[in-house]
Structure formats: C-alpha cells, structure tokens
Amino acid sequence: MSSTTPTTQSWQGRTVLVTGAEGFIGSTLVDLLVERGAHVRVLVHYKPYAERGHLARYLGPGSPVETLAGDVRDAGRVMDAVTGCDTVFHLAALIGIPYSYASPEAYVQTNVAGTENVAAACRRHGVRRMVHTSTSEVYGTARTVPIREDHPLQPQSPYSASKIGADMLALSYAHSFELPVTVVRPFNTYGPRQSARAVIPTILAQLHSGAQEIRLGSTTPTRDFTYVTDTAEGFLALAECDRAIGHAVNLGTGREITIGDLAQSLIRASGRPARVVTDETRLRPAGSEVERLLSDNSRARDWAGWVPRVELEEGLARTSDWVRDNLRLFAADRYQV
C-alpha cells in the first residue's frame, strides 16, 4: 500500500482517549467514536458541582464511555488516562481569544504544558496514534491564499501563540522520540453545541432573542467555516493516515465569507430581520485581528480521503434551529469572552 493512501480501520473495540471531550468538537467526536463501536475514555475537567453537559447521555451504568475527571495540567492524571489506549485525541485547551488578553499565563499552562503532558504519556504508553488539535489562528492574517500548512505562523494573540507552542512541542515529540503524532488544524468549526464565545452562535442567540440590532466587532474579516461533523470526521480520518504522522494537516472547506455577509446569511436562516451594528467592546486590539483565513485542504483530501460534506447554507440552518431550541443556554444580552 502506498504511504499516501489512507488506511481504513475499524474502531470497533479499540480503546480511545478524548481530552476536552465535554466541548463542542470533542463531544461530537465522542458521538462518532461510540457509533463506530470504540470503547471511549474521556478526560473531563473536574467540577465539584453536578453539571452533566454534552456528555450527559453517557453518564450511567452500561455506558460505552468511561469518564475520568482531571486536568491536562496534572501529568500524573494524564498518565493514568492514557494507560491502555490505542489512540489519543487531544482537544483539551483554553480557546477564547479575548480571555487570552486577560490571562495569557493560563493559556501557556493549559495549552503548552498540558500538551507536553499528553505527548509524554503517549510516548510512555506506546500509543498507536496521538492526534493533537491546533487551530487556523496560528496562521494569523493570511499572507497568501489559500493557506497551506507551510504558511508562516504568526502569533497575533496570546491564544494563537500558545497553540503555536503546543503544535511545535507535539511535533518535536515526533522528531525526537518517533511519537506517531499528527497535528490537525481545523479552520473555523461551527454547529450545534458551540458556545456563545464564537461568532455564529453569538449572532443566532441575539436573533432568536428578538434583537433588532446584532452587535458585532469587525465585520470585514473573512473566515472558512467547517461544520462540526465534518471536522470530527477529519479527526478520525487523520488518525488512520500514516502519511500524516509528523505533519500538520488543515481541515477547512476552501470557501471564505466575510463576517458581515455571514451575519446576513444568519438573518435569512433564522427568519428574523435585524441590522448589524458595531460594538467597540467586541473589537480585537490593533494588530491582533486576523483579517483573512482561507484553507488549502489538499493534504486532508489527498492523504486521508477527507472531504467536507455539509454546505455552509445547510449548516447554518441546522445551527440556527439548534440555537433556537436551546436558547436557555445563551445570555444573548451579554458579551461572552
């Protein structure tokens, strides 16, 4: 078999760890793994209160999901979680860009040190594959488009700087210790379960709350939006792709849209007329705004056979319906960083 040919393996009966499994992408990935018959172990952030979250349906006797409470900053707990695993999907991270301006050290501890803990545990236990989650934010404002994986990395926020550090650390384990790790770089993922810190649910929560004015930051940047199930399928495909070991791989659609045009699309999808106004509290600091993101997804297509399947208009309609039906989860009148 050619090294560029994606492998096809069954997940049936394989033990898989997902860090950050309670999150938007993580919980969707857990769903796909359970559907495919994997024994899923999840490392979730310890909480002393009875929050059930996106994994609620898996909490109980006979569940195919084994839940471990912990923190990726705790090397010992991570070492325990990785024990006996075939594959580790590392999604745990601090992700909000605005909060990274206020607390950059927390991003270094969770995103960089936490990734080192996961990589060290994967090395120690000899896992078949570690899949590390990056972000398109590491590229900063595009110098050339579409953005290939060899595009310069530009730390335009403490968040993106921490993710660049985490990516490089994960890849260093491939070069130094032959750890079979792949760095997955999703472009802007959206869909059901996403929190209001992201632009699409922010807009939809305002619309479905009856707002006549949609308050946004800059509306001129462009983004490449990928529906969440497509992103999760990309994780699974790359976990089985030997060609991707030691490399970063983009997951994006290759289609860009301005935030302003996105807002108009969401107004149409929701059926709730409104006008867009600029809220200065939502603007990023000068020099930090990423003006353009547009992916080249050739590696994912050619190496792993991954193809995004949900068109933007369909995905926005699905997401609008979900936000409408779960509006209680959103504080539409407050800017969530």
State how far the alpha carbon of 239 is from the alpha carbons of 61, 75, 303, in Å: 29, 23, 11
Question: How many structural domains are present in the chain?
Answer: 1
Q: How confident is the model at residue 132 (pLDDT cuts 50, 70, 90)?
A: very high
d(CA 321, CA 121): 40
Provide the residue range defining the domain that includes 139: 15-190+228-254+294-310
pLDDT over 70 (residue 333): no
Tell me how long the chain is.
337
Percent of the chain's residues with pLDDT above 70: 94
Residue 289 resides in a domain: no
Greater pLDDT, 196 or 191: 191
Residues 295-327 have pLDDT tens digits of: 999 999 999 999 999 999 999 999 999 999 999
Q: How confident is the model at residue 334 (pLDDT cuts 50, 70, 90)?
A: low
Residue (of 81, 82, 90, 95) closest to 19 by Cα position:
90
Specify the 3-state DSSP secondary structure of 4.
Answer: coil
> pLDDT averaged over the chain?
92
What does the pLDDT read at residue 337?
Answer: 45
Residue 49 is among the residues annotated as catalytic for this protein: no
Which residues lie across from 188 on neighbouring strands? 225
Q: How confident is the model at residue 203 (pLDDT cuts 50, 70, 90)?
A: very high
Average pLDDT of span 81-94:
98
d(CA 118, CA 161): 19
Q: 103: which residues sit within 8 A by CB, 6+ positions away?
A: none
CA 269 from chain centre, in angstroms, equals 24
Question: Cis peptide before 146, with omega less than 30 degrees from 0?
Answer: yes
Q: E-assigned strands of 188-274?
A: 188-190, 213-216, 222-223, 225-227, 248-251, 257-258
Q: How confident is the model at residue 332 (pLDDT cuts 50, 70, 90)?
A: low
Match 């600091």 to its residue by tokens. 285
d(CA 70, CA 52): 15
Percent of the chain's residues with pLDDT above 90: 81
Average pLDDT of span 120-149:
97
What is the phi-psi region of residue 60: left when phi exceeds 0, alpha when psi lies from -120 to 50, beta otherwise? left
Residue 101 resides in a domain: yes
Greater pLDDT, 27 or 47: 27
Question: Which of 159, 173, 190, 227 is the catalytic position?
Answer: 159
Residue 117 resides in a domain: yes
Which two structure tokens, joined as six digits, stand for 26?
Answer: 């993580």
d(CA 229, CA 212): 31
State how far the alpha carbon of 190 is from the alpha carbons of 15, 202, 219, 337, in Å: 27, 11, 17, 17
Q: Dihedral of CA 26/226/163/279: which sign?
A: negative
Residue 72 resides in a domain: yes
State how far the alpha carbon of 144 is from the alpha carbons of 51, 138, 252, 256, 257, in Å: 44, 14, 16, 14, 16
Residue (of 42, 36, 39) closest to 18 by Cα position:
42
pLDDT over 80 (residue 5): no
pLDDT over 80 (residue 8): no
Residue 219 resides in a domain: no
**Parallel, antiparallel or unpaired: strands 188-190 and 15-19:** unpaired
d(CA 304, CA 241): 6
Q: What is the DSSP string of 199-212?
A: HHHHHHHHHHTT-S
What does the pLDDT read at residue 53?
Answer: 82
Q: What is the CATH number of the domain that holds 88?
A: 3.40.50.720
Residue 5 resides in a domain: no
Residue 281 resides in a domain: no
What does the pLDDT read at residue 3?
Answer: 38
Residue 203 resides in a domain: no
What does the pLDDT read at residue 290?
Answer: 84
196-215 burial string, b = 16+ CB within 10 Å, else e?
bbbbbbbbbbbbbeebeebb
Is 167:139 a contact under the CB 8 Å cutoff? no
Q: How confident is the model at residue 193 (pLDDT cuts 50, 70, 90)?
A: very high
Q: Dihedral of CA 309/301/90/195: which sign?
A: negative
Residues 51-83 have pLDDT tens digits of: 668 999 998 888 999 999 999 999 999 999 999
Specify the 3-state DSSP secondary structure of 244.
Answer: helix
